[in-house]
């Protein structure tokens, strides 16, 4: 121990520097054997994965170089600090001063020789800086760096020119070639230990953050401030001059020079620390507590120790695929996995680009460290699906996607709870607080947003909610599904490792079912199923009833005609509707672009040539249907989105299903729809929705002791809102008016929120406060029938007009209404009504600010025609003529006719 | 290089090809600050990964430290073979 103490006390910074230089040179020579300058990134990644010995030598070379730099600077500081007179010839001192810069150049050329993403950008920066020097900048850059894309010249300078210069000036300065043996041994042992524990960095090619080496990060921070970065070269020049004048200036000048260097060094250390620990992607400042800090800022610190237990052999790694220009250790163990689509196979994109982990670690544990088991959730979509090489233009839209931020759901709920004045305010699930409405949302509703992560592997099922990109794009084929099920039942089974779900565009209705069998129930409506209030035990045992996975019982109704034709959800709904288009929308009908008339058009369709469509649509169209050159697509009237599964040829519009390629000829609207202008403002769904769910009589109260769930954080809790259901009915929907910026349209509406809320149960200070609302919501029932409703179904149907179920009675020339339901004590209206008979609604009546019931005048106009239909058939001449000119028909009717509301 | 007429922004080799409002422009992908290769765009902005400079789709610098616009390149499009040739 005493001997060791002696050795350490006799060791100087200069000796350590010299030892480090020797180790660096020796390890560099050894490293030249496996290193391929033609493919630097490939050769380095290969040796990291394959060859522990070569990787160890690389680490020694790296760490000894870092120590050489650090101890050179400490050595310089030590000399200046001791205030000894430096008696060196000027020429020698000039070379030593320049040598400081040359050392940095040696380090930098070594950094460039990695050939990874960091290095490539560093090459360009260096080229740009050198070229900016006046007169000889371009020549200097060419002489030092050569042509972009070839590191041959950089290699020569690194191993020869610069190394020789450094060796010569070191010898000139120290008069020694070999360091002291004892110092050398200590340094090599220390370097070896560090090299074993910490592998030299290599950029993975996926992470978007690119930075220079640690000793240049401070300089990079300075460059970031300068719009004319060539001025930074002046700093280097001043630096050299300050060092040079120290021994030769006057005492004051020398002192000033040392002080300036010290202050600048301290400042540079601060800049280095800020650049290393606070700068992330695009050199953005990121605080440690921010979400992306670890991935964006600290990724260059991720390292592993040398793997001495080889788990695969040279043959395996040599034949494994090259991915993103390098080797991945994942591929050696996982190259026998099937189930992928070609575009997302490991052969195409590797494993790391989706799953993360460490692609350069040959050890299973190390390779799997920080791996994302289920990538594609929105929380990590930016670093898996959304990297620069893949789908950044899609993931950047995720926060604006209504299916993620669920702004409409939140806003309406807060409106219903009287927490905000409008149901149309823009908000985001991330902004949920602890109010009554927000708690209600967390307990009851917000599981259905795409930001809700998929935490367990497995096929999409009726119970699936959320899952980010995977919500739509994950598919298990029969083999991967079988393997998954086998694994679920037998924890020791390992065959599942050979199968992987695919990521594809094969989006089935099943993918939509989990969330869209809730709320408006459009998934189940579409298939012809209406939810009942029956329990599983009460469900009749016949094919007219269905039990879904979450134990809800459905009764069979008329299915949507499109479903009967085996048309899927995605056949109508395009990528911008489902993944967002970057704009924020208040409600789902605003984000939706498709309308019936886009396909079932009268007259000239809205067309777009393939050459003029956006890239996303073009790619999807090509992938689904092959060569789209010269194709002409139909496009939506709203926002002109191409319907890539349509085409227009020889005056005929064709429609193809996206998953099966079934072909249809698109039909025009029926004559009743387009005859005259009587129904110009009536939407297709107003007539063609055969039924819609109509739910009434809900009561909500908060129970402090009720076992509940926080769907935002996915944790169980005590205390929850409890919903007591009323009735679930299914019949032809009521109709209302939607005002779209002055254009009015008759649309289906359903009871959105006809309910009571015991707000006092949540906020005890409100005591017995009860909220009652009668709000109807716009509906797109997805129960389209090819044959629309008959005329009386709209014109003489109390439900349609918003009065609720019941019977019209005409007595003595006057129309009366008898409701089926009792009047609600809160407002005196029938339980299922929207408005009073021939009346106006209450102040608050809809879940949208642009949705209205029929005005009294409109009710009269509708019913006046309805009275005619009591005698005249829909297809009678008089009713058909009324479509063209109703006023003329009204003027010519006989005395026998009953005309309601004459005055 | 392949020419994708539908793609608004594409990064190919050392160039950025912009198709906007039925017009095509080609820019050098070298950021005018320090020459880093611009390889991504977001919200119609081209972003330099080195120091965060941004450029609009007309090549003008919109956020520093870069101040000069991207160098615009001359090109020829072969529509039949869907190829673009950039004159360097």
Residue B62 has pLDDT above 60, yes or no: yes
Contact B8 A226 (CB under 8 A): no
For A223, the closest of B7, B22, B51 (CB atoms) is B51
Instruction: Indicate whether A756 pLDDT > 80.
Output: yes
User: Which pLDDT does position A533 carry in this prediction?
Assistant: 93
Distance in angstroms (rounded) separating the CA atoms of residues A358 and A361 = 6
CA distance linking residue A781 with residue A783, whole number of Å: 5
Grade residue A312 by pLDDT with cuts at 50, 70 and 90.
low
A752: region left, alpha or beta (phi > 0 left; psi from -120 to 50 alpha) = alpha
Contact A227 B22 (CB under 8 A): no
Q: Is A193 exposed, middle or buried (0-12, 13-18, 19+ CB in 10 A)?
A: exposed
Q: Is it the case that residue A165 has pLDDT exceeding 80?
A: yes
What pLDDT shows up at residue A85? 61
The winner for highest mean pLDDT among A197-206, A346-355, A406-415, A759-768 is A406-415
Task: Give per-residue pLDDT as tens, A503-514.
Answer: 999 999 999 999
- Taking residues A37-51, what's their average pLDDT? 91
pLDDT at A249 over 80: no
Lowest mean pLDDT among A88-92, A161-165, B51-55: A88-92
Q: Is the pLDDT of residue A664 over 70?
A: yes
- CA A698/CA A356 separation, integer angstroms: 47
The rounded distance, in Å, linking the Cα atoms of A587 and A577 is 12
The residues pairing with A756 across neighbouring beta strands, listed in sequence order, are A699, A772
Q: How far is CA A689 from CA A210, A787, A828, in A?
A: 55, 9, 29
Mean pLDDT of A782-795: 93
* Chain B contact set for A612 (CB, 8 A): 6, 22
CA distance B84 to B88: 13
Q: Is B67 on the interface with A (CB under 8 A)?
A: yes
pLDDT tens profile A578-606: 999 999 999 999 999 999 999 999 899 99
User: How many angstroms separate the CA atoms of A571 and A573, rounded?
Assistant: 6
- Cα distance between residue A666 and residue A645, in whole Å: 12
**pLDDT for residue A768:** 66
Which structure tokens are listed for A354? 């989706």
Strand partners, B83: B2, B78
Q: Tens digits of per-residue pLDDT, A473-507?
A: 999 999 999 999 999 899 888 888 889 999 999 99
CB-based contact A282 B22, cutoff 8 Å: no
Q: What is the pLDDT of residue A731?
A: 94
Tokens of A699: 């009561």
User: What would the pLDDT profile of A372-411 be if each residue is shown by its tens digit?
Assistant: 999 999 999 988 999 878 899 899 999 999 999 999 999 9
Residues of A in Cβ contact (< 8 Å) with B6: 610-615, 617-619
pLDDT at A92: 83
Mean pLDDT across the stretch A652-675? 91
A contact test, residue of B2, B50, B53, B54 with most A CBs within 10 A: B50
Interface test with A, best of B2, B5, B21, B35 (most A CBs within 10 A): B35
Give residue A501's pLDDT. Answer: 94
Q: Which among B22, B36, B67 is the nearest to A125, CB-wise? A: B36
Cβ atoms within 10 Å, residue B31: 29
Q: Which of A118, A120, A123, A128 would best serve as a mutation to test chain B binding (most B beta carbons within 10 A)?
A: A128
User: Are B33 and A121 in contact (CB < 8 Å)?
Assistant: no
Q: What is the pLDDT of residue B24?
A: 93
Residue of A nearest to B9 (CA): A615
Contacts of A388 in chain B (CB under 8 A): 39-40
**Residues of A whose CB is below 8 A from B47:** 282
Report d(CA A77, CA A902) in Å as an integer.
104
Could you report the per-residue pLDDT of A681-739, keeping only the tens digit for each? 999 999 999 999 999 888 999 999 999 999 999 999 999 999 998 889 999 999 999 99
Counting one residue from chain A and one from chain B, the pairs whose CB atoms sit within 8 A come to 80
Quote the Cα angle for A628-A634-A638, to 5°. Answer: 130
* Closest chain B residue to A221, measured at CA: B51
pLDDT value for A830: 95
pLDDT tens figures, A54-97? 999 999 999 999 999 999 999 988 887 776 666 678 888 888 88
What distance in Å separates the CA atoms of residue A55 and residue A61, rounded to the nearest whole number? 10
CA distance A511 to A247: 76
- The residue-averaged pLDDT of B23-35 equals 94
What does the pLDDT read at residue A310? Answer: 61
pLDDT of residue A348: 87
Q: Supply the pLDDT for residue A336.
A: 81
Out of B37, B52, B66, closest to residue A284 by CB? B52
- ipTM of the shown complex: 0.94
- The minimal CB distance from A615 to the residues B8, B22, B43 is found for B8
Helix (H, G, I), strand (E, B) or coil at A712: coil
Nearest to A229 by CA among A136, A144, A133, A145: A133
What is the enclosing helix (H) or strand (E) of A808? strand A806-811
Give the residue from chain A lying closest to B80, CA to CA: A629
Answer whether A502's CB lies under 8 Å from A459's CB: no
Give the pLDDT band of residue A811 (cuts 50, 70, 90): confident
Contact A210 B41 (CB under 8 A): no
Closest alpha carbon within chain B to A132: B34
**Is pLDDT above 90 for A215?**
yes
Provide the token pair at A376.
């594609």
Burial class (CB in 10 A: 0-12, 13-18, 19+), A546: middle
pLDDT of residue A303: 82
- Checking if the pLDDT of A412 tops 70, the result is yes
CA of A520 to nearest chain B CA: how many angstroms apart?
33
Residue A244 has pLDDT above 90, yes or no: no
Q: What is the pLDDT of residue A243?
A: 85
Q: Counting beta carbons within 10 angstroms of the beta carbon of residue A494, is it exposed (0 to 12), middle (13 to 18) or buried (19 or more)?
A: exposed
- Chain A residues with beta carbon closer than 8 angstroms to that of B30: 124, 128
Q: How far apart are CA A184 and CA A143, in angstroms?
A: 35
Q: So what's the pLDDT on residue A57? A: 95
Q: Looking at per-residue confidence, does B88 or A465 come out higher? A: A465
What is the CA A860 to chain-centroid distance, rounded? Answer: 50
The verdict on B2 touching A (C-beta cutoff 8 Å) is: no
Mean pLDDT of B77-87: 89
More confident of the two residues A808 and A314: A808
Q: What is the pLDDT of residue A623?
A: 93
For residue B54, list its beta bridge partners. B47, B63
Among A183-187, A252-256, A853-857, the least confident range: A252-256
Per residue in A319-337, pLDDT tens? 777 888 888 888 777 878 8
CA distance B55 to B57: 7
Rounded CA-CA distance A723/A700 in Å is: 5
**Residue A269 CB neighbours (<10 A):** 11
Please give, rounded to a whole number of angstroms, the shortest distance from the CA of B57 to a CA of chain A.
Answer: 15
Strand partners, A665: A654
The C-alpha torsion from A108 through A111 and A117 to A121, rounded to 10°, is: 10
Answer yes or no: is pLDDT of A142 > 70.
yes
């Amino acid at each position: 121990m005493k001997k060791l103490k002696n050795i350490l006390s006799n060791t100087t910074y200069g000796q350590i520097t010299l030892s480090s230089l020797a180790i660096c040179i020796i390890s560099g020579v050894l490293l030249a054997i496996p290193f391929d300058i033609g493919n630097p990134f490939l050769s380095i990644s290969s040796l990291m994965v394959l060859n522990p010995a070569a990787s160890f030598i690389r680490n020694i070379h790296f760490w000894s170089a870092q120590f050489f730099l650090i101890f050179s600077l400490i050595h310089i500081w030590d000399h200046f600090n001791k205030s000894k007179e430096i008696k060196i010839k000027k020429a020698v001192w000039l070379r030593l001063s320049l040598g400081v810069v040359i050392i940095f150049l040696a380090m930098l050329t070594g950094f460039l020789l990695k050939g990874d993403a960091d290095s490539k950008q560093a090459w360009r920066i260096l080229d740009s800086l050198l070229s900016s020097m006046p007169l000889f900048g371009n020549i200097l850059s060419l002489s030092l760096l050569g042509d972009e894309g070839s590191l041959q010249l950089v290699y020569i300078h690194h191993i020869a020119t610069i190394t020789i210069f450094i060796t010569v000036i070191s010898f000139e300065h120290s008069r020694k070639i070999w360091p002291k043996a004892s110092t050398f041994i200590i340094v090599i042992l220390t370097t070896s230990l560090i090299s074993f524990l910490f592998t030299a960095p290599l950029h993975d090619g996926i992470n978007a953050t690119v930075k220079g080496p640690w000793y240049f990060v401070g300089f990079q921070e300075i460059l970031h401030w300068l719009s004319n970065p060539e001025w930074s070269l002046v700093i280097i020049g001043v630096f050299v001059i300050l060092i040079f004048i120290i021994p030769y200036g006057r005492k004051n000048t020398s002192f000033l020079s040392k002080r300036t260097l010290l202050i600048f060094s301290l400042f540079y250390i601060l800049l280095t620390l800020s650049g290393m620990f606070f700068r992330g992607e695009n050199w953005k400042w990121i605080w440690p507590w921010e979400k992306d800090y670890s991935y964006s800022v600290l990724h260059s610190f991720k390292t592993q120790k040398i793997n001495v237990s080889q788990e695969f052999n040279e043959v395996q790694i040599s034949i494994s695929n090259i991915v993103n220009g390098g080797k991945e250790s994942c591929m050696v163990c996982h190259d026998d996995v099937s189930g992928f689509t070609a575009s997302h196979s490991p052969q195409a994109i590797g494993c790391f680009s989706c799953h993360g982990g460490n692609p350069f670690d040959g050890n299973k544990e190390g390779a799997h460290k920080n791996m994302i088991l289920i990538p594609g959730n929105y929380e990590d979509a930016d670093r898996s699906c959304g990297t620069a090489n893949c789908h950044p233009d899609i993931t950047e839209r995720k926060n604006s996607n209504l299916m993620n931020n669920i702004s409409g759901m939140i806003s309406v709920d807060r409106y219903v709870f009287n927490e905000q004045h409008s149901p149309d305010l823009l908000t985001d699930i991330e902004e949920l607080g602890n109010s009554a409405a927000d708690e209600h949302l967390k307990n009851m509703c917000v599981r259905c947003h795409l930001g809700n992560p998929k935490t367990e592997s497995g096929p999409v099922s009726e119970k699936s909610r959320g899952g980010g990109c995977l919500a739509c794009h994950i598919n298990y084929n029969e083999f991967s599904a079988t393997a998954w099920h086998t694994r679920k039942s037998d924890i020791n089974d390992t065959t599942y490792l050979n199968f992987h779900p695919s990521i594809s565009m094969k989006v089935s209705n099943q993918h939509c079912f989990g969330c869209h069998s809730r709320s408006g129930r459009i998934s189940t409506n579409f298939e012809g199923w209406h939810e009942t209030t029956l329990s599983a035990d009460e469900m009749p045992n016949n094919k007219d009833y269905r039990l879904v996975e979450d134990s809800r019982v459905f009764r069979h109704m008329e299915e949507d005609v499109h479903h009967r034709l085996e048309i899927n959800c995605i056949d109508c709904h395009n990528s911008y509707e489902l993944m967002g288009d970057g704009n924020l929308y208040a409600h789902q009908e605003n984000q939706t672009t498709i309308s019936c008339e886009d396909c079932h058009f009268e007259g000239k369709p809205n067309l777009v040539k393939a050459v003029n469509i956006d890239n996303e649509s073009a790619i999807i169209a090509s992938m689904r249907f092959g060569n789209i050159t010269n194709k002409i697509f139909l496009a939506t009237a709203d926002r002109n989105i191409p319907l890539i599964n349509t085409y227009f040829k020889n005056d005929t519009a064709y429609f193809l299903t996206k998953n099966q390629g079934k072909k249809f000829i698109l039909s025009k609207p029926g004559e009743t729809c387009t005859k005259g202008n009587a129904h110009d403002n009536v939407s297709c769904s107003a007539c063609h929705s055969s039924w819609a769910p109509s739910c009434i009589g809900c009561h909500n109260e908060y129970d402090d002791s009720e076992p509940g769930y926080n769907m935002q954080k996915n944790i169980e809790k005590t205390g929850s809102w409890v919903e007591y259901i009323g009735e679930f009915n299914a019949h032809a929907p009521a109709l209302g008016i939607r005002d779209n910026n002055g254009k009015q349209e008759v649309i289906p509406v359903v009871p959105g929120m006809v309910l009571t809320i015991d707000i006092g149960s949540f906020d005890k200070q409100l005591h017995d406060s009860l909220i009652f609302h009668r709000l109807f919501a716009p509906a797109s029932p997805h129960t389209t029938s090819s044959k629309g409703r008959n005329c009386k179904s709209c014109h003489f149907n109390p439900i349609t007009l918003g009065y609720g179920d019941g019977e019209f009675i005409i007595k003595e020339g006057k129309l009366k209404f008898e409701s089926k339901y009792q009047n609600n004590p809160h407002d005196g209206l029938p339980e299922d009504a929207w408005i009073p008979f021939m009346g106006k609604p209450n102040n608050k009546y809809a879940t949208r600010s642009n949705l209205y019931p029929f005005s009294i005048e409109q009710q009269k106009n509708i019913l006046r025609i309805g009275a005619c239909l009591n005698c005249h058939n829909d297809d009678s001449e008089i009713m058909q003529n009324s479509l063209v000119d109703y006023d003329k028909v009204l003027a010519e009717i006989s005395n026998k006719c009953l005309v309601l509301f004459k005055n | 290089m392949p020419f994708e007429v539908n793609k608004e922004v594409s990064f190919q080799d050392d160039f950025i090809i912009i198709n906007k409002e039925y017009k095509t422009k080609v820019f050098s992908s070298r950021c005018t600050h320090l020459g880093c290769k611009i390889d991504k765009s977001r919200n119609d902005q081209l972003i330099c990964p080195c120091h965060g400079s941004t450029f609009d789709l007309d090549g003008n610098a919109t956020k520093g430290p870069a101040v000069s616009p991207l160098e615009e390149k001359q090109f020829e499009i072969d529509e039949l073979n869907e190829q673009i040739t950039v004159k360097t």
